[in-house]
């Protein structure tokens, strides 16, 4: 895991420069893990907010292997969306600043 020293629960609690530092550190750690574990495949992600069980923003870097039994990150949630992709896209575009 990579964790910033400054406390914040979500990416919304940080300035862009802080997030740039976070993700450059994620890249640095992933490079080291790639060399250590001899893999180029990783699942990298965050849980965003306290409802997800997270009280401090952190990034998981999980080395993956062909026989690990895991799936792609999209396999975590098994529910179907209630709206079509075009409706979701429209709503997101309306809220981008």
Per-residue pLDDT of 15-50, as tens digits, reads 999 999 999 999 999 999 999 999 999 999 998 887
Flag whether pLDDT at 78 surpasses 80. Answer: no
Centroid of chain to Cα 61: 9
Asked whether 11 and 57 are in contact (CB, 8 A), the reply is yes
* Domains in the chain, CATH or no CATH each: 2-95 (3.30.428.10)
Task: Look up the pTM and report it.
Answer: 0.82
Looking at residue 52, what is its pLDDT?
A: 63
Residue 57's closest CA among 10, 2, 21?
10
Average pLDDT over residues 51-58: 81
């Amino acid at each position: 895991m990579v964790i910033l020293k400054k406390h914040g629960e979500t990416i919304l609690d940080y300035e862009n420069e802080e997030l740039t530092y976070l993700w450059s550190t994620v890249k640095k750690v992933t490079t080291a893990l790639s060399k250590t574990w001899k893999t180029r495949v990783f699942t990298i992600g965050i849980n965003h907010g306290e409802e997800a069980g997270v009280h401090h923003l952190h990034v998981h870097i999980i080395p993956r292997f062909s026989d690990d039994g895991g799936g792609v990150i999209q396999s975590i949630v098994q529910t179907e969306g209630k709206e079509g992709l075009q409706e979701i896209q429209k709503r997101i575009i309306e809220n981008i600043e």
